[in-house]
A and B are shown apart, each in its own frame.
Chain A
Amino acid sequence: MIMRLLRRNKGYSCHQVLEVMQAYIDGEVDEQVALNVVEHLEMCSQCAHEVDLFKRIQASVRERADEIDPRIIERLTAYAQELSSSDPYLNDSSQN
């Protein structure tokens, strides 16, 4: 509903940009909404700062994701490789 209304409006206000800012950052808005946001960001340093800040927050959260213990991934990778070299229909014990 909000997206439909915003799609029709050109020349977004700061409030309108805030309404769609998260979806815009996630690439969840259509091309017209994205263009309207970009147009606003070129003129409004405060909104541009907010978008930049939310992107930094997102990047920071993602960076933490890389801290998964590599041994867990190694073990799961070994499991997958072992799985793929066995008969998937006979190796039921691997489920336990």
Chain B
Amino acid sequence: MVLAMAERAKTENDFNDTIVPLIPYLYRVALSLTRNGTEADDLVQDTLLRAFRAYDRFDGRYPKAWLVTIMRNANINKARKKSAVLLNDPDTTFEHSMKFATTDTTANHIVEPVFDEEVAAAFNALPEPFKQVIELVDLGDLSYQEAADLLEIPPGTVMSRLHRGRKRIREQLTDSDSVRPEGRNFLRRKS
């Protein structure tokens, strides 16, 4: 009995020490996957619950990769349940709770351009598949392979979308005054 309680306390402490600090990371990945703040919230909760239930089988290595795998499975289950509704509901389109989603791209160009604002505007203008992989790799810190597994697409597609997305952002900067003159048109000339 005492041993069981001690084990229980250890699991609780380990979970809090290992998993809880990764919640911001989990939320970012969930947001990239769902494109919706409420759904991301639900997905993180579902992932945390599944993670806690499976925690005694976790070997303690690569907690991010372990959590992302759990999230991927949780997301697949959710997607299956909701697919019929989503297909017919025009109101379930993109709702992004991160601030770049609400950046006023018009206003950014009225005043003197700021690098970060221009990057945000260019990022917002990207097609969704490009945004998604950039978020997973740059914000979620996932490897190309991990992002590919999560999205169920080949790693080459992750790489291609990521590269094309970043080049589009960079080209937007090329058209502005945010880069040094000698850097302008470099990509266009050489690619």
A65 contacts B by Cβ under 8 Å: yes
Contact between B16 and A80, CB atoms less than 8 A apart? yes
| Chain A interface size range | 35 or more
Contact between A54 and B115, CB atoms less than 8 A apart? no
Q: Give bound CA distance, A75 to B159, whole Å.
A: 34
A64 contacts B by Cβ under 8 Å: yes
Residues in chain A near residue B23, CB distance under 8 A: 73, 76-77, 80
Contact between B138 and A61, CB atoms less than 8 A apart? yes
A42 contacts B by Cβ under 8 Å: no
For residue A33, give the distance in angstroms from its CB to the closest CB of chain B. 14
Residues in chain B near residue A83, CB distance under 8 A: 48-49, 52
B169 contacts A by Cβ under 8 Å: yes
Q: Give bound CA distance, A89 to B55, whole Å.
A: 12
Q: Give bound CA distance, A89 to B52, whole Å.
A: 10
Q: Give bound CA distance, A21 to B19, whole Å.
A: 33
Chain A contact residues: helix, strand, loop or mixed: helix
Contact between B27 and A73, CB atoms less than 8 A apart? yes
Among residues of B, the one whose C-beta sits closest to the C-beta of A22 is B163
A72-90 vs B, CB cutoff 8 Å, 1 = contact: the mask equals: 1101110111011100110
B150 contacts A by Cβ under 8 Å: no
Q: Give bound CA distance, A14 to B45, whole Å.
A: 47
Which of B48, B115, B180, B190 interacts with A80 by CB under 8 Å? B48
Q: Give bound CA distance, A62 to B119, whole Å.
A: 11
Residues in chain B near residue A45, CB distance under 8 A: 182
Q: Known: A18-B190, A50-B187, A84-B15. Contact between A76 and B48, CB under 8 A?
A: yes
Using a CB–CB cutoff of 8 Å, the interface residues on chain A facing chain B are 14-15, 18, 22-23, 26, 28, 45-46, 49-50, 53-54, 56-58, 60-65, 67-69, 72-73, 75-77, 79-81, 83-85, 88-89, 94-95
Using a CB–CB cutoff of 8 Å, the interface residues on chain B facing chain A are 11-12, 15-16, 19-20, 23-24, 26-28, 31, 37, 41, 44-46, 48-49, 52-53, 97-100, 115-116, 119-120, 123, 134-135, 137-139, 143-144, 159, 162-163, 166, 169-170, 173, 179-180, 182-183, 186-187, 190-191
